[in-house]
Homo-oligomer: A and B are copies of this chain.
Amino acid sequence: MSQTIKVAVIQQPCADTAGEAMALSEDCLRQAAANGAQLALLPELHNGHYFCQEADSAEFDRAEAIPGPTTEKLSALAKELQLVIVGSVFEKRLAGVYHNTAVVLDSDGSLAGCYRKMHIPDDPGYYEKFYFTPGDAEPGFQPIQTSIGKLGVLVCWDQWYPEAARLMALAGAELLLYPTAIGWDPADDAAEQQRQIDAWQAVQRGHAVANHLPVLTANRIGVESNPQQASQNIPFWGRSFIYGPQGELIAEAASDPSGNPELLYAEINRQRTEDLRRIWPFFRDRRIDAYQRLITRA
């Protein structure tokens, strides 16, 4: 494995149908590869409309198996472009058991691994508990080994949990990656919207610092209407980013309301994590004898 990895984060709008949405992703993936990226991260559930704005059982028709059409298409692109691709699938595991699943295709086209979202949100406009069974991997929060390193892949709501980032780091992750779908409530005022977007970046920057790991986050961009209540919608806020392992901002995308795709790039030097853990050895001093309450509710 080389000491440096060139990574790309894809911020894109997501069309309603899988075919249109995948065409957008494919364009971005080709562009990332043309620019030398060895790894590309797509947004959460990039292969269609964000259907969780309502709880509607008909929407389960969007789900698919893994492997299935989306992973097969991503696999072919990964192999052709010699690119590690982190994608996201509405997974049908069994009738009645559906997951929000990140998939990792290695640069030879093989399915390197999956991560089923562990923390499931449920808020007005984001009715994810209706659709997604929480992940149940044993042990949970395991990084996925690829040809370019161990990827600590998490999904969206996971990003608010220092526990998830720490567990991935303890299990040897070399990067943290978050496919994401998050936007504003148009009813909030501008100051509240600003605090929310800043909080979202801040908590993930904290994960970079606390674990000395780079953090890559790919968000959707553009406004998606609510199919049942046209007066409501989600303006996805974009602002995808890449932080280095000291929390330094390397690249940040815009909140472009026109919803154009935008790609971010960074050269990640994997030695930097090792160096930082020597000068500020947080992991040495964890008080594991006094952390038991972390596995309680309150």
Contacts and interface: CB of A to CB of B under 8 A. Distances in A.
Nearest to A200: B209
Contacts of A184: none
Contacts of A207: 206
Nearest to A196: B246
Interface string A101-128: 0000000000000000011110100000
B199 A247 contact: yes
Interface stretch (A39-47, A52-60, A83-91, A275-283): A275-283
Interface residues of A, number: 55
Interface stretch (A11-19, A92-100, A166-174, A218-226): A166-174
A290 B206 contact: no
A118 B291 CA distance: 11
B140 A290 contact: yes
Interface string A21-64: 00000000000000000000000000000000000000000000
Contacts of A204: 206
B283 A288 contact: no
A202 B141 CA distance: 24
A296 B118 contact: no
Interface stretch (A73-81, A156-164, A232-240, A259-267): A156-164
27 contacts: A140-B287, A141-B290, A157-B285, A160-B210, A160-B280, A162-B165, A162-B206, A164-B287, A167-B293, A170-B296, A170-B298, A198-B246, A198-B248, A199-B247, A199-B248, A202-B202, A202-B208, A202-B247, A203-B209, A203-B247, A206-B206, A206-B209, A288-B295, A291-B294, A291-B295, A294-B294, A294-B295
